[in-house]
Structure 1
């Protein structure tokens, strides 16, 4: 088909991406490719704010519950799989929707990744030993010294991400971000990038409200069931790590709830920092569906 378009919908957590993606997909009678690094895992439900059964029934979704946290999976793997699916779906659709808040996953689809050089295992082992001895603050301090620009756009509460970034910086002398493709992929379709944005106060209220809803829906109970997988990268993130620390006796439940909300707000800020760097993104209010559809056309 001529003039095929991939509609990319991004934005911070709780801004309303799922609702907008479904409305856009229904308008164009098409399908949604999720770009969320945790919604792909079938074991994680409440803490990832997956579309519910009613939402999933309104439009075909891909990369929701598609993998297990037991699988080795990263952004590069997702990028290859998602792009292959996009090419396949374009055989029957003029429009497709790519929607999610994981900037690295979106980037993997649109730009791809260069191969990252191997680094000696001893570097990772030493970093891991220091993390276990000194805690995540030590990793954060190392990143501030060695690669502050990359620290500003990653999940600073995720020790796996911090260790990975540090081992590449120490082992190669280059930031891990430098290994993203210098020459972007060329696509046979047009890409329309839409960023969803709300006033900060409103967004933060939505984040707090959604966290209350997640807790009422059983987030603490879900985290307890997932505790056996605590070392998996997918769980070293906001929404679970705070509860694991509560379970380990580091603080009480009220403090866990406070940290869940605070860290979710901080995560939203980092997401916006990431997506705002792309000058091709058109920023819209999530309720302005008419304006969004006009932009796409």
Structure 2
């Protein structure tokens, strides 16, 4: 449908509880945020023939909570909606609302017709320094810098958009910090004075300081790999144990991603 009709896909109640459906939709949404993405599947009737579909295009998703898939969440511009307190909006919308809605749609469509050829994709190169100065995640920049090309000339709008992105960045980092991986990174940071930090050290610290229950060394090891902190065998106290290598660049990269700035010294970020 996306490939055939284009336009903006509106999906309300986009909370998928069936695991197969969730995996399918997450794949479409993850691949569909940039032009080069594609979803390749085996043809249902003519196997082993494969079918490639192009899911690229703008999408508006209404959900009750954030996505569990962090890769997908980082590709979204999230706005948390609240119940309105305006008395001029009826609890049941009438035909008058739909008429005003149609007028607004028509105005927006006319705006697109008038400005379609004014959009310069090459402006992204000029905007890149401003985005870089905000120290946003590259994924967040990737998902939003193209959108900002639409209104970069409106100084006030662009200022508001940058403020929104900083808020989005803060929320993403706080969510990561609250995750299990975030707990591991926090433990590594708090144990940073230990010469060789082992999965056992991290597990014990998380149980003692973060109130986690029965954290196994094996589980910590698996999550460390996901974080790009693959352990290596070392001689520690006369015994051979696996410990995090002293790769300062990679460790600091993980700190930046998972630890809010107010918890980390500036010297750790440089």
The TM-score with structure 1 as length reference comes to: 0.28
> Looking at both structures, which has the greater relative contact order when contacts are Cα pairs under 8 Å and sequence separation is at least 6?
1
